[in-house]
Amino acid sequence: MNDDFDSVRLTDVSRHFGRRRALARLSLAIRTGDVLGLLGPNGAGKSTLLGMVATLVAPNTGEVIYGDRSAQRWGPALRRHIGLLAHELHLYAELTARQNLTFFAELYGLNPRDVVDAALERAGLADRADDEVGGFSRGMRQRLALERALLHRPRLVLLDEPFTGLDDRSVSAVADRIRRLAADGGIVLLATHDLDLADGLVTRVALIREGRLLSDEPASTGLRGRYREVVGR
Amino acid sequence: MFFRVAFLVLRKDFAIEIKSREILYTTLLFAVSCVLVFAFALVKEGEAPPDAAPAILWIAIMFAGTLALGRTFERERYGETLRALLLAPAPRPALYVGKLLGIVLLLGVAELVLVPLVAFFFLAPFFAKPLLMTLLLAAGTIGFAAVGTLFAAMLMRVRTRDVLLPILLYPITVPVIIGGVRGTAALLASPADEAMATMWLAILAAFDVVFITLSLWTFEVLMTE
Amino acid sequence: MMRKLFPVLLAINAVLFVAALIFINRVPPESSMGLVQKIFYFHVPSWIAMYLGIAICGVGSIWYLATGRPQADRAAVAGGELAVLFGLVGLVTGPLWARKAWGVWWQWDARLTTALLLWLTFVAYLTVRKYGGPGSEKLAAAVGLFGTAVAPFVYFSVNIWRTVHPLTTVMPELPNSAPEMVPPMLASIFSFLVLFVVLLMARLELGRRQADVDELYLAYEDRTA
């Protein structure tokens, strides 16, 4: 039993909440080096899918296999390899940027001295390190949240709308970061509305509507056109 | 790993609380007002009914505890940080233990204020048997907090969580109230009935063991959607 | 097989009830209380049915938390609803009887108080299911599990709580004091048990139908796949 994995496979995964279908018999496979763009309208099930791959939501049917095992057989050690940046950002408003990063670093068994300062630098928040996060702008919190998610250098990186609230410079910085993550052997799942940003960044595209996977294909030019063609509207 | 993570969660909550002390002060003030309300309701011609003191003490602890539970988990709703905690590479029940310790400590501090206060207003010799009294308070607080932490955590996703928490918590923690009040009353009797107090202490301790175990078993299942 | 058994059981139940009523009618009224004493024949079996419902809810809840199978959840909710239903019958008949027997509606008798607390716990169970939003079956299962686990604690603490200040007990020991009451009591208990089974089967079937309807809704949504 090895300690890491190089692919994630979803097989016939379904999830409903009462009578509302969130995901319908979805099958996907991703491996290292992939930047998979999850594209679809609001309510398509992108966030549910990310939550499921992150082991926070259990499927009703089907399974998610990391490498050769399901999450249950992996146990807590699996989460060492997963980083999630969700819409809600997962930051404590009452703590400073440094305190937030230090807490999560220790939670993942890292020595804060090794990682926190570098992360603050990368987020461009080194001068605001000791200010409470509650006072940050959305863009600042977004950059900090991304660093928080990547602090433990996870293999599987799940990003839900990572570009929200970012200015141009930050957007290209984040996009470069994502490319580098995949090049270094990461598996990236990126859910976004921003087709222009996704275009040129993602290596594969999964088009989702109403919980159903409409298309799973390698990225090519003209993402917006392809999206309109498959998803409609 | 397990206790390290629990301790980290506890320390983080402490770090947040120490900045504003909001939950601490408001919980304390609430508990004190609770005691005063009971005083005005029960005291007639300068005297409270016998055995009122233990009852008031434990009721104030339970009411204040219910509020504190709700507010502690409310902190994890902003930024949905509870999800981030669930993503930590540690057994998820460790989060439960961290939160439980936090609540127990918070209520412990509240009790440091409440016990002398109730003793003062109701002329109750709470300090006659300090060891047994402390053990009773500890066992009862832990039992209440054990069930309360689990319920407050699992109700986090529910819209009506504020009112559902007491509805779920109070019937199940009735043995804690009975044990706490009767045990304390036994200690206040003259002469103090240590045997009875010890018996209630044993029942409370058994309650603690059973419900902490059940909470540890069910925490992960309840926290995943 | 179950479906064919149902009308048979229903018929047997009707016969049993009539038979029990005849038995009850034949027994001479008890000297001090007259006709009202016969409430007993409804009161005792109701409690037995409630505890049976609680047991089913507890087992179903554990099974559901461990496996997530919908059958477990259907069993749990059926048990919970029946516990609340029969508990209500017991809680209404109890005071009616007590009023006639001792002139007071309620006197914190150990057994009635225990039953009241457990009843409230399972009312909370149903409340969570109804108002807890999607996914509340799992949360309710936690309440069902905890409610069943707390039953012995409630029983012991309430008993000790009451026997410190002893009062007249509710249930005289029938076989010793009034042997002629045994046959109608057994007949009543048996009728209620069969009624319990009939209602349980109906409720489980209702649950299955509801699950089928939900499946249809989901299948309808999936139709353009």
Q: Residue A191: give its domain's CATH number.
A: 3.40.50.300
- Please judge whether B171 and C117 are an interchain contact, meaning their C-beta atoms are less than 8 angstroms apart: yes
E strand or H helix at A46, and its extent? helix A46-53
C164, pLDDT greater than 70 = no
CB–CB contact C134 A210 (8 Å): no
A100 CB neighbours in chain B (<8 A) are none
What single-letter DSSP state applies at residue B204? H
Count of beta carbons in the 10 Å neighbourhood of residue A91 = 24
| Count of structural domains, chain A | 1
Assembly ipTM: 0.92
C1: pLDDT strictly greater than 70: no
Chain B: residue nearest C138 by CA?
A: B222
Contact B174/C154, CB-based, under 8 Å?
Answer: yes
B10, B16, B17, B19: CA torsion to nearest 10: 140
Listed by start position, the domains of chain C span 2-23+41-211
Relative to beta strand A61-66, strand A7-17 is antiparallel
Quick check: B225 and C164 CB within 8 A? no
Subunit contact B225:C135, Cβ cutoff 8 A: yes
Residue B35's alpha-carbon distances to B40, B119, C27, C98, C200, in angstroms, are 9, 11, 55, 35, 47
Cβ contacts of B68 within 8 Å, gap of 6 or more: B23, B27, B103, B106, B107, B110
Q: Does C161 touch chain B (CB under 8 A)?
A: yes
Whole-number pLDDT of residue C168: 45
% of chain B exceeding 70 in pLDDT: 100
pLDDT value of residue C132: 87
The verdict on residue A88 lying in a domain is: yes
Residue-wise pLDDT for C110-150, tens only, equals 888 999 999 999 999 999 999 988 889 999 999 999 999 99
Mean pLDDT across A176-187:
91
State the smallest CA–CA distance between residue C218 and chain A in angstroms.
6
Number of neighbours of residue C181 by Cβ within 10 angstroms? 21
Look over chain C and give the mean of its residue pLDDT values, rounded to a whole number. 85
Q: pLDDT band at C170, cuts 50/70/90? A: very low
Whole-model pTM: value is 0.91
Q: Give residue A178's domain range.
A: 32-47+79-231
pLDDT recorded at residue B10? 95
Separation between Cα atoms, residue C80 and residue C124, nearest integer Å: 10
pLDDT of residue A168: 87
Q: Number of residue pairs across A and C with CB atoms under 8 Å? A: 21
Put simply, the answer to whether A18 touches C214 (Cβ < 8 Å) is yes
pLDDT digits (tens, 9 = 90+) for B135-192: 999 999 999 999 999 999 999 989 898 899 999 999 999 999 999 999 999 998 878 8
Residues of C in contact with B221 (CB under 8 A): 65, 138
Q: For chain A, report the end-to-end CA distance as a whole number of angstroms.
A: 46
Cα angle: B60, vertex B61, B67; to 5 degrees: 90
Between residues C175 and B178, which one has the greater pLDDT? B178
Distance of alpha carbon B80 from alpha carbon C15, whole angstroms: 59
Residue A2: inside a domain? no
Inside any domain, residue A16: no
- Chain C hits for A20, Cβ within 8 Å: 134
* Run of H or E including A21: strand A20-31
| Omega prior to B191 cis, within 30 of 0 | yes
Do the domain assignments include residue A67? no
Per-residue pLDDT at C16 exceeds 70:
yes
Q: Which of B164, B172, B199 sits opposite C128 (nearest CB)?
A: B164
CA distance A204 to chain C (A): 22
Cβ within 8 Å of C, A 35-74 = 58
Q: Kindly report, residue by residue over A61-79, the tens digit of the pLDDT.
A: 999 999 988 988 998 999 9
Predicted confidence (pLDDT) at residue C169 exceeds the cutoff of 60: no
Q: What pLDDT score does C126 carry?
A: 96
pLDDT range class, residue C2, cuts 50, 70, 90: low
